[in-house]
């Protein structure tokens, strides 16, 4: 299959470039800057991402451009553009002031194929500290802003283009047009990548890969593992055994609801209530990372014990998606938080790994779920952390604290599902992720009736996002917030105050722990 290679120089928006390319029904692969494939006849173009570095930094990431320049169409974005200029004879210097935010392309060469269909004065998004003060000799300027003369330029002798702005971000209003011009018109994509083609090809590949072997899949109730299960079920039927472990920190009534959903889908599912073990091992633990590690360890132990009962199993399937694998290969070597769904298999299991969704972004997983005919409430389910409510309770974990948070969270999530906004869409479908957080290390004074209370606050969190790499707090209606706050305080014993988290990512994360 045709593919675009995106070389990652460490930009926070590299994954967004990939999603934009996939939205053009074109397969792409994100690779570290120094891992360009030497022999891949399917590659039709190369995109160089942005980077936190300056091209002048001693530790700046560098790539040998001769691997693809002159052989394949190339598009450099931000740092990628500066690296092209710097390497091929141009000049990159520190800008007088950081060029960040909205700008307008006041001069655009719409005769150049990269800018076909572009408007003059089109808004773009800048984010760089250096600027290109001179371009290589065989290049020409094809776009400028009031402050950036060399905002876009192209080679006159080779298929190389470069832009100092970010076409992948929402604020570049015609960014999709630019990327389509490059991917489809310049690179010649046949636009063969779609949910339907993915289902057909993946089911065929799974049948060939697995044959009559038995496969075990750990279900979480989330979108990824659910879609992976239905996809595998279509390929191998009852040779798939799913295991759903309840660690006691799921949402209210979630274990039974999810089990019912899975049985309606015809899946062979084993449900395991291991909540007592998890609560016992978490007793007194307050450190967030330690909580995650304990839950991850216990999950593996419980899952392994159940999986060993299936003595003829040869494969372990996981709902790992593409961003999980990219994040686990972070080229800076920095870990922000541990992941329990990516990594090696326990040696004693002696199972081979099957990851049917390993090339998909989250929105693509949802499209595949719809293609498979799955219920909409499963497909649109918000992301939920693997450790569950354990990382939404500040401090130590007890069954009573989980009960309090489950009740508050249930009121909040049901409210989001029931509230229809002015455009006819429910608030639940308008936000990427939402949940309640119990501030169990904090107590606040309140008054209920004629009595003074000294109980815990609950913080509500709702964010809008496309891929969770960045997120903004959701501007929920005041009447909704008032109703939910009142209901939580009146109905959830142990809570006397409700707050709303209005921090964005970055600098905050979506989860509190």
CA 80 to chain CA centroid, Å, is 23
* Annotated catalytic residue, options 99, 168, 306, 455: 168
Give 327's pLDDT tier (boundaries 50, 70, 90): low
| Cα separation values, 130 from 10, 34, 137, 304, Å | 16, 22, 20, 52
Closest by Cα among 440, 444, 418 to 429 = 418
Give 467's pLDDT tier (boundaries 50, 70, 90): low
DSSP states along 148-216: -TTSEEEESSSSEEEESB-TTSTTSTTHHHHHHIIIIIIS-------HHHHHHHHHHHHHHHHTT-EEE
Residue 373: pLDDT above 70? yes
Peptide bond into 506 cis (omega under 30): yes
- Residue 166 is a catalytic residue: yes
Q: Percentage helix, strand, coil, to 5, in the chain?
A: 35, 25, 40
For 291-313, write each residue's pLDDT tens digit.
999 999 999 899 989 988 998 99
Under 8 Å between Cβ of 133 and 56: no
Within a 10 A sphere around the Cβ of 39, how many other Cβ atoms? 5
Closest by Cα among 195, 188, 61, 50 to 129 = 50
Q: Characterize the bridge pairing of strands 43-48 and 74-77.
A: parallel
Between CA 380 and CA 222 the distance in angstroms is 9
DSSP states along 253-278: THHHHHHHHHHHTT--EEEEE-HHHH
Q: Is the dihedral of CA 260, 263, 265, 267 positive or negative?
A: positive
Per-residue pLDDT, averaged over 32-58, amounts to 93
DSSP states along 404-469: HHHHHHHHHHHHHHH-B-TTS-BHHHHSSEEEEEE-TT--EEEEETTEEEEEEEEEEEEEE-SSSS
- Which pLDDT value is given to residue 362? 87
- Of 168-177, 302-311, 328-337, 484-493, the poorest mean pLDDT is in 328-337
Give 364's pLDDT tier (boundaries 50, 70, 90): very high
Round the average pLDDT of the chain to a whole number and report it.
91
Q: Which two tokens stand for residue 372?
A: 């498979």
- Residue 168 is a catalytic residue: yes
- Which pLDDT value is given to residue 439? 97
HSE at residue 302, side-chain half, CA atoms within 13 A, is: 24
Burial of 258-279, coded b for 16+ CB within 10 Å and e otherwise, reads bbebbeebebebbbeebbeebb
3-state secondary structure 12-26: CCHHHHHHHHHHCCC
Q: Is the dihedral of CA 67, 70, 76, 81 positive or negative?
A: positive
Q: Which two tokens stand for residue 126?
A: 């800048």
* Annotated catalytic residue, options 128, 166, 247, 456: 166
Q: Which two tokens stand for residue 379?
A: 């497909």
Give 416's pLDDT tier (boundaries 50, 70, 90): very high
Q: Which two tokens stand for residue 7?
A: 């070389």
- Residue spans of beta strands (DSSP E) within 228-350: 240-246, 269-273, 313-317
Per-residue pLDDT, averaged over 479-493, amounts to 96
Backbone region of residue 226 per phi and psi (left: phi > 0; alpha: psi in -120 to 50; beta: other values): alpha
* Annotated catalytic residue, options 78, 187, 242, 354: 78
- % of the chain beyond a pLDDT of 70: 94
Residue 387's contacts (CB-CB under 8 Å, 6 or more residues apart) are 247, 249, 291, 292, 295, 296, 340
Give 13's pLDDT tier (boundaries 50, 70, 90): confident
- Which pLDDT value is given to residue 341? 46
HSE at residue 435, side-chain half, CA atoms within 13 A, is: 24
Closest by Cα among 367, 232, 369 to 313 = 232
- Residue 354 is a catalytic residue: no
Give 139's pLDDT tier (boundaries 50, 70, 90): very high
Per-residue pLDDT, averaged over 200-211, amounts to 96
Between CA 216 and CA 237 the distance in angstroms is 12
End-to-end CA distance of the chain: 40
Between CA 294 and CA 19 the distance in angstroms is 33
Instruction: Output 451 or 282, whichever has higher pLDDT.
Output: 282
Give 340's pLDDT tier (boundaries 50, 70, 90): very low
Of 250-259, 263-272, 325-334, 408-417, the range with the highest mean pLDDT is 408-417
Residues pairing with 154 in the sheet = 140, 161
């Amino acid at each position: 299959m045709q593919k675009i290679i995106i070389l990652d120089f460490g930009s926070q928006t590299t994954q967004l470039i990939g999603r934009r390319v996939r939205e053009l029904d074109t397969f792409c692969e994100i690779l570290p800057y120094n891992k360009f494939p030497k022999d891949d006849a399917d590659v039709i173009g190369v995109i160089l991402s942005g980077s936190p570095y300056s091209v002048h930094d001693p530790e700046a990431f560098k790539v040998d451009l001769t691997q693809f320049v002159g052989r394949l169409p190339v598009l450099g974005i931000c740092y990628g553009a500066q690296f092209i200029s710097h390497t091929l004879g141009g000049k990159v210097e520190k800008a007088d002031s950081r060029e960040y935010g909205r700008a307008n392309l006041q001069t655009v060469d719409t005769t150049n194929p990269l800018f076909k269909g572009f408007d003059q004065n089109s808004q773009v998004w800048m984010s760089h500290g250096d600027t290109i003060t001179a371009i290589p000799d065989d290049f020409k300027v094809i776009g400028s802003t009031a402050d950036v003369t060399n905002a876009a330029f192209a080679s006159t002798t080779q298929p190389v283009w470069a832009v100092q702005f970010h076409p992948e971000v929402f604020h570049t209003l015609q960014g999709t047009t630019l990327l389509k011009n490059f991917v489809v018109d310049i690179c010649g994509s046949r636009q063969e990548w779609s949910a339907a083609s993915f289902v057909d090809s993946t089911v065929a590949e799974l049948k060939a890969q697995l044959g009559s072997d038995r496969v075990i899949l750990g279900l979480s109730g989330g979108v990824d593992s659910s879609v992976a299960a239905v996809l595998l079920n279509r390929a191998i039927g009852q040779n798939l055994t799913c295991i759903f472990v309840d660690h006691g920190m799921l949402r209210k009534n979630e274990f039974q609801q999810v089990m019912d959903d899975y049985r309606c889908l015809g899946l062979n599912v084993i449900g395991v209530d291991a909540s007592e073990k998890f609560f016992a091992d978490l007793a007194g633990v307050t450190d967030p990372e330690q909580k995650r590690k304990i839950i991850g360890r216990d999950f593996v132990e419980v899952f392994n014990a159940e999986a060993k009962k299936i003595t003829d199993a040869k494969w372990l399937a996981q709902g790992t998606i593409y961003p999980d694998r990219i994040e686990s290969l972070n080229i800076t070597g920095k870990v922000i938080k541990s992941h329990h769904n990516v990594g090696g298999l326990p040696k004693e299991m002696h199972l081979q790994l099957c990851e049917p969704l390993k090339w998909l972004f989250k929105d693509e997983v949802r499209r595949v779920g719809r293609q498979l005919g799955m219920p909409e409430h499963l497909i649109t389910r918000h992301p939920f952390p693997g450790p569950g409510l354990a990382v939404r309770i500040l401090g130590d974990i007890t069954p009573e604290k989980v009960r309090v948070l489950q009740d508050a969270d249930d009121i909040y999530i049901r409210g989001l599902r029931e509230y229809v906004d002015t455009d006819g869409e429910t608030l639940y479908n308008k936000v990427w992720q939402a949940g309640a957080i119990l501030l169990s290390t904090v107590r606040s004074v309140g008054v209920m009736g004629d009595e003074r209370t000294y109980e815990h606050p609950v913080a509500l969190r709702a964010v809008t996002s496309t891929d969770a790499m960045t997120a903004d707090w959701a501007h929920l209606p005041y009447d909704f917030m008032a109703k939910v706050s009142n209901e939580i305080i009146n109905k959830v014993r142990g809570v006397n105050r409700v707050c709303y988290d209005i921090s964005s990512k970055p600098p905050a994360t979506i989860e509190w722990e």
